[in-house]
Structure 1
């Protein structure tokens, strides 16, 4: 009898407390909670997030798609401790084209990896060009990762794990201002393919008057405006067996920015064309061996000219290449886990100006 009365009393108190604090509880439920997962980024081998001695979080591709974004950068900007900087519609940036992700506000200290190998160019990354259709999950390690990954990881590491297999899907969407989105994923047994294009139309003048430009001897007031922009992506994976996998990814971003007069007529035209290529062969077995050979390339063209004299072109071209090998061996026992590995990378950079 006493047990029954005590149980009923406790139940009453709990219900009463829930009723009185219902409003606060509803507000707390608006916060985001990510359940424990497994990551390979923080320590170089699989480890539970709760057992990892650094601030680590894992987001699946589906969780990132729930933000409404179509690319990695615009999905991560809604996550705590992740900062995304860009200017203009469709992630256009004035001249440089460098839409940046950084962790904990540390510029130049965020290393981006794709399937565990470096994918940043001179500490610049364009995750706004990486479509979520290709992403299995994203692992984020906040805080210094220089011990494993070098000085580029001073603020943290973002590791994008791509899908081994894709389901058949087709997406077509349209909106105002020339917005278009076309994408398809195709699963073909051992092979998978994803491709698509995302477009945005011209927006006209986006600023107040910034000054004057001398056109045919006359000082003409000018404003900055953004023209058409396009993002293209293609990803191909082939899984030979449980140990060997080949992956290739191509991303392209092309857009224009202009100096316009008050009527949005173009005075000076700037074009930005950024193409990035990522290829790797990966080996992984049940004995703890993990090895990757990779090749990355980034090519940029940035011509501009005055409309009154379009034959006089000023341009910049750059070509950045990376070749690398990353291999490691993990030993596990009941008492400890050990890791030994070698990482080698060669970079070349060529820049031409006229």
Structure 2
């Protein structure tokens, strides 16, 4: 029996490779042949695991995804690398926002500039999937919430989230522009709990939450504050000074404080229609100071200070019915405002009068996304359409400088067909085009994907996937005017859209006590949009540009429910992300250069018994480099992110929890370009919660 199963699986893999070959370009033949031995290895492993699969197939750690296919599917029937994080698992991390909680995901690189994932203006914290810097598409209930390819996961509290679904690899065929690294879909709760929470910690931490429901209406309010965490960034090491010397000159950022206010309301209108509204405001303060290597006369002095204010409104109507129709209307407004003063020039000389800086930008998108699903005994067909209006405005010194808008239209579909009882194929495609853009800067793109899944038995499957992705340039990337004071980005109206190719082979196994996953991937992105640092009079500016990107690697993970009290998880990734600039400008790197790190290891352990619960999580990035935009990458020490959460429940209504982050008190660099942004020293928060 086992031999027959292996023979069928081998046949299925050869069939899937043939389908991928027909779907892709000529160079896909070489890639698929390269991966053939790995595919046979995964098949053999699946066959050897067959005997232990008889325990059962009910996997109680969230086996169903709606993001990978745009309709509910068992993870075993999906031809992509996925990870589903439940509300309970998010709460176990002890973090106060989603950015921090997702830093322990499989196969991700974490990037941040401030405490608690705080952003510094448009320098936002990131969850980087498969090495693609700005390739993560973040959605709420299937609606994209990115603003000019940025997102602020640190502003999303955990108590409103039902689960988070993560799809690694290009997801642009089903969800459009930006999903070159992967998709994070935040699925919110329809009914919020009745509870209050209050937390206090070191570094001036304060965290207060309240949520309640009355029938079909729920609301939640969350306030979070951090105080002064000191000097957290350094220009050492850098491309010029990879090793600190007596002649090195150091500038450092001081994180002064941050505050966040978040309000969320949901309303179930009827069985088919519900409404969500979220308003968020955040403020953080920074100082840029002269440090070691500068004259004593102004060492420690502030060159400039900045106050960054961001507020957003997100509204969403969600519709679904029994006839297969579903979709949503949405409105997403994001405003970023910068205040501050320049006190000294770059050489340390005092300005005659402090120079005031005020800039503001508004990013607005609204539209709809609707689909119709037809389901049969052996096949599922999906057809949909979407429209989004993009508006971008920016201001300086109280005067509006730019106003751009465009329409983005898409038609998409997929066909899921059972070929046999064990084999299925999924074909997907999307056509996207824009209208109304200035200077005839309109784009169109067609992308497709083919996935082949073979079930080794009812507990495990293997798959092969080949697909495409794309990214439309944002208005800021094309038109940002860096000649104005306080504006550091200089756009390029001739930017090309990104286009990516993604290939993946994988194996999945689920039982009632364990989940195993292995994925082998390769991806190439043409004209990846990024920024390069200027020089001379433009040393403080960043220029938009196109570059090429490539990466390949192996991901493996397992989750084990050891017994009714203990669950543990571990994931390991080896990858090799590289970039090459498509330019002959002086200083541009027109050679393949490494970025981020090659080795990622993450692990988590949770325990729960009677009134006690505990969870320990860690993420380790090694064999890493810092990658300046105009100089060769250089080695950087590994980082190790850690969090420990302890909870005691004296009764069914009360919880007392203690969360400790950076438990080893490491000074790790959580930036990846040419500056050092230190992880926050060991910090803790003690929280009391009451349910009513």
Same fold? TM cut 0.5: yes
Alignment CA distance shift 1:34-1:54 (3 Å): farther
Q: Distance in 2 between matches of 1:93 and 1:309?
A: 31
| Residue in structure 1 matched with residue 382 of structure 2 by the alignment | 339
- TM-score normalised by structure 2 residue count: 0.43
Say which SS state the counterpart of residue 275 (structure 1) adopts: strand
Q: Distance in 2 between matches of 1:338 and 1:284?
A: 16
Show the 5 A alignment for 1:1-354. 35-207=61-233, 223-260=252-289, 266=302, 268-306=304-342, 312-354=355-397
CA offset at residue 284 of structure 1? 0.8
Q: Distance in 2 between matches of 1:287 and 1:208?
A: 58
- Tell whether the 8 Å contact from 1:243 to 1:285 is kept in structure 2 after alignment: yes
- Tell me, which stretches of 5 or more residues in structure 2 are unaligned? 1-58, 237-249, 292-298, 344-350, 398-692
Higher relative CO (Cα under 8 Å, sequence separation at least 6) belongs to 2
Alignment CA distance shift 1:279-1:34 (3 Å): same
Q: Distance in 2 between matches of 1:160 and 1:245?
A: 16
Q: Distance in 1 between matches of 2:89 and 2:341?
A: 43
Q: Distance in 1 between matches of 2:301 and 2:133?
A: 36
| Residue in structure 1 matched with residue 524 of structure 2 by the alignment | none
- Tell me, which stretches of 5 or more residues in structure 1 are unaligned? 1-32, 211-220
Alignment CA distance shift 1:281-1:93 (3 Å): closer
CA offset at residue 208 of structure 1? 6.0
Q: Distance in 2 between matches of 1:64 and 1:310?
A: 49
Q: Distance in 2 between matches of 1:332 and 1:45?
A: 11
CA distances 1:67-103 after superposition (whole Å, capped 9, x unpaired): 1212111111101122321022232344434111221
Alignment CA distance shift 1:347-1:234 (3 Å): same
Say which SS state the counterpart of residue 53 (structure 1) adopts: coil
Q: Distance in 2 between matches of 1:207 and 1:160?
A: 31
Q: Distance in 1 between matches of 2:121 and 2:139?
A: 25
Q: Distance in 1 between matches of 2:383 and 2:104?
A: 36
| Residue in structure 2 matched with residue 23 of structure 1 by the alignment | none
Say which SS state the counterpart of residue 153 (structure 1) adopts: coil
- Tell whether the 8 Å contact from 1:193 to 1:236 is kept in structure 2 after alignment: yes
Say which SS state the counterpart of residue 164 (structure 2) adopts: strand
CA offset at residue 280 of structure 1? 0.9
Q: Which moved more, 1:84-93 or 1:39-48?
A: 84-93
Alignment CA distance shift 1:322-1:309 (3 Å): farther
CA offset at residue 344 of structure 1? 0.8
Say which SS state the counterpart of residue 43 (structure 1) adopts: coil
Q: Distance in 2 between matches of 1:151 and 1:209?
A: 34
Q: Distance in 1 between matches of 2:276 and 2:63?
A: 25
Say which SS state the counterpart of residue 89 (structure 2) adopts: helix
Q: Distance in 1 between matches of 2:364 and 2:331?
A: 7
Alignment CA distance shift 1:231-1:264 (3 Å): farther
Say which SS state the counterpart of residue 107 (structure 1) adopts: coil
CA offset at residue 310 of structure 1? 7.8
- Tell whether the 8 Å contact from 2:367 to 2:386 is kept in structure 1 after alignment: yes
Say which SS state the counterpart of residue 68 (structure 1) adopts: coil
Q: Distance in 2 between matches of 1:155 and 1:175?
A: 35
CA distances 1:300-329 after superposition (whole Å, capped 9, x unpaired): 001220468887411220000001110001
Q: Distance in 2 between matches of 1:329 and 1:103?
A: 30
Alignment CA distance shift 1:335-1:206 (3 Å): closer
Q: Distance in 1 between matches of 2:169 and 2:283?
A: 33
- TM-score normalised by structure 1 residue count: 0.82
Say which SS state the counterpart of residue 178 (structure 2) adopts: helix
